[in-house]
Amino acid sequence: MTTGLSGPAFAEAHSELEGTLRIISDMSNPAPRAVMEGMAAEFDAMHPNLTVELDIVDREAWKSQIRNALSANPPDVVNWYAANRMEPYVDSGLFMDITDWWDAGDYEGLESVKGAMTMDGKQWGIPYTYYQWGVYYREDIFNELGLEEPETFEQEIANCQAILDSGRKCYTIGTKFLWTAGGWFDYLNMRTNGFDHHMALARGELSWTEDEGVRQTFENWRTLIDMGAFIDDHQTYSWQEALPFMVNGEAAAYLMGNFVVPQLRDAGLGDDQIDFYQFPAINPDVAMGEDAPTDTFHVASGAQNVEAAREFLKYVTSAEVQTEINGPDGLGQLPVNANASVADDEFIQQGFTMLSENATGGIAQFFDRDFPAEMASIGMEGLQEFMVFPDNLDDILARLESARERIYE
């Protein structure tokens, strides 16, 4: 990895860093792992008296390991997520308050994403990438069937019926780890009821059983389920294991984050075979909210090398590094630094345009980040169950409401 930051002036300015910088990262998928390893190696090379120790753990496993890691033998820097997903570690004093670093101007160009790192009026880490969600689809299949990108839910349903009539499924999805079902709920609810309604639900201010808007969201979802729009047995697949259905042409589309693009390319699909569109409008009276999750770095409150951790966070968020790691040969996502360059990549450019021009309703972080962790876990279990057994809706909503009354009290 070459970012242009390893020149003599930069190295001289930080040659005083010494000791060991311990980083635990959950960037375990191949492309993110290569980015993380590249950043660690370059930062190490830039500081002759500093040793960077990098431990990469499985992304799913890290969700249950992070608390112990921060408590038992805390590293200096860890990967995590923005918004409500920070709250348990902020409340328990496991993340360091780095407001002073923000105030000192360490993160020039990050003003627009500062809010994602703010809780109780303080900043608890830095973002390093964010990305759009939307519908990635087989453009060649759409062309074969004479379909256009839908702008309304009615057009989406009509397209889906044509795809089903051709012997394919409309959407692939793997809900074994639950969160992908959360993406469908996010979009259906934001399109049905609007961003403000969705965030009020996430804050526990609305009833799952009594709010008519919530029921309308599930009715819209059931329209697709009853059509047979989703692949069979999706609860047995991870999101990666569901990819072959789209790659092989057995399903026409995937509602997913932009991190799916390198996977589709690596599986052999060319850019002339895949394309992207914004999830279509359902209720014309609500603006278009979007999921754009933000991935983050945090300094452990028990960090031993705080000085090196601070410099690593400055390095990660610099315009040069942001341009490099978020490009098509890296994460394939959007830089958080406004002074960075957006890669000349079809999908990254589409995401940038959508989020900067067409996300008129607001930016959500994602179901399992916007809802408190326990509510998110119970909620996503219910969402997956609904996709498999939609007749269970009343029981599912009753469980979610019971959880809401207990968790938010």
Half-sphere exposure of 375 (CA within 13 A, CB side): 26
Both structure tokens of 334? 């959007």
Same CATH topology for 8-130+294-340 and 133-291+359-407: the answer is yes
Q: Which fold has domain 8-130+294-340?
A: D-Maltodextrin-Binding Protein; domain 2 (3.40.190)
The whole-angstrom distance between residue 25's C-alpha and the CA centroid of its chain comes to 16
Q: Interhelix angle for 179-193 vs 212-227, to 10°?
A: 120
Distance CA 4, CA 197 (A): 45
Within 10 angstroms of residue 220's Cβ, the number of other Cβ atoms is 17
Beta bridge partners of 276: 136
Both structure tokens of 33? 């792992």
User: Is residue 345 over pLDDT 60?
Assistant: yes
Q: What is the pLDDT of residue 343?
A: 86
What lies within 8 Å, CB to CB, of 150 at 6+ separation is 156, 158, 159, 277, 280
Distance CA 298, CA 296 (A): 7
User: Is residue 344 over pLDDT 90?
Assistant: no
Nearest to 256 by CA among 335, 328, 175: 175
Within 10 angstroms of residue 356's Cβ, the number of other Cβ atoms is 11
Query: Does domain 133-291+359-407 fall into CATH 3.40.190.10?
Result: yes
Q: Which amino acid is at 171?
A: Y
With residue 282 as reference, give the H or E element that holds it.
none
Confidence band of 115 (pLDDT split at 50, 70, 90): confident
Q: What is the mean pLDDT of residues 383-405?
A: 98
Confidence band of 332 (pLDDT split at 50, 70, 90): confident
How, if at all, do strands 289-291 and 362-364 pair? Answer: parallel
Distance CA 22, CA 247 (A): 39
Confidence band of 331 (pLDDT split at 50, 70, 90): confident
- The number of helix segments (H) and strand segments (E) in the chain equals 18, 13
pLDDT: which is higher, 43 or 63: 43
Phi-psi region of 295 (alpha: psi -120 to 50; beta: other; left: phi over 0): beta
Q: What ranges do the domains of the chain cover? A: 8-130+294-340, 133-291+359-407
Contact between 130 and 336 under an 8 Å Cβ cutoff? The reply is yes
